[in-house]
Amino acid sequence: MPIPTYQEMMLPLLRVLDAAGKELHQKEYSALTADAFGLSEEQRQERLPSGVQTYVFNRAGWAGWYMQQAGLVEKPKRGHLRITEEGRKLLASNPAAIDSKVLSAYPSFVEKMTKVSGGGPPTDPEPEPILPTSPLTPNDQIEQAELKLKAQLASDLLDLMSRMDPYRFEQLVVDLLFAMGYGGSRAEAAQVTQKSNDGGIDGIISEDRLGLDVIYVQAKRWQSTVGREPIQSFVGALAGKHATKGVFITTSDFHKNALDYAKGVTHKIILINGQRLAELMIEYGVGVSTVRTIALKRVDSDYFEEG
């Protein structure tokens, strides 16, 4: 089964708190809720794309937060929850599930979920409650929105690269490797070979700032899938330079026989397809710029601690 949504976790979580008969920390109640679903260790360790929290920990936390707004649980101290009499009363009614529809029956929940009108004129309609309708937590929605935006940006980058001058594309690849930390100063970090007669090598970049070793680069702005032959030719070019390390980058993708061949040779060959190339450009800020930064805040509990 997939990892339950935060709404699916509500009823099992409330039962966990009821059975405990005491307050539980989020680590405890999220683990016990995972036990109730019989989740595997792999599912328990699966993390949000940001890597900050596991899905189980995050969703159990949101399940508790929404039930807290309805008065079914309370938060005696930071990171802890315990069931209330209202929560026990709900369990006694043997509900089939707890979701936003069930929570909406509690005035305190509707009140806390109600949008603030913002001081509009008296003729404005009454503010309406903002009720959770998605099975995704706010964190999930933010993370998924970021993934969608990155996917669209990657698609745009690939489209632009497909129309670039081949020599300019080779320079772009070297710029990316420099941004990733290869080379010394920008002036001496890399060189792009001549537009012709390059012997199968498009670029050369120092592996480290001291130039103790170099990496040879092949950059192909192709539409068709790269097969074994171009990789074999690249390995031959490396051998001609007495080199052992190379990076082959394409805007398209690699055939399985190319991937298998690269794994089998004694040379260290890294293959980067178009999708990975675009992701690296986004990660290291090559060919992209930041248009907006959103800072997510949380309560600084240390500020409120008694001195």
d(CA 243, CA 151): 35
Q: 156-284: which CATH number, 3.40.1350.10, 3.40.50.1820, 3.40.50.720, 3.30.70.1400?
A: 3.40.1350.10
Residue with tokens 């679903």, as numbered in its chain? 37
Query: pLDDT, tens digit, for every residue of 161-206?
Result: 988 888 888 888 888 988 888 876 555 555 655 444 456 677 788 8
Query: pLDDT, tens digit, for every residue of 75-122?
Result: 998 889 999 999 999 999 999 999 989 999 999 888 888 743 344 433
Q: Reply yes or no on whether the pLDDT at 58 is more than 60.
A: yes
d(CA 304, CA 268): 54
pLDDT for position 225 = 93
pLDDT > 70: percent of the chain? 83
| pTM of the entire predicted model | 0.61
Alpha helices (H) in the chain, listed in sequence order: 6-20, 26-37, 41-45, 55-69, 85-92, 100-103, 107-113, 138-161, 166-179, 186-189, 228-240, 256-264, 274-284, 301-304
Q: Where are the domains of the chain?
A: 6-134, 156-284
Fold classification of 6-134 (topology level): Arc Repressor Mutant, subunit A (1.10.10)
CA angle 186, 187, 191 (to 5 degrees): 100
pLDDT for position 124 = 39
The amino acid that residue 288 corresponds to is V
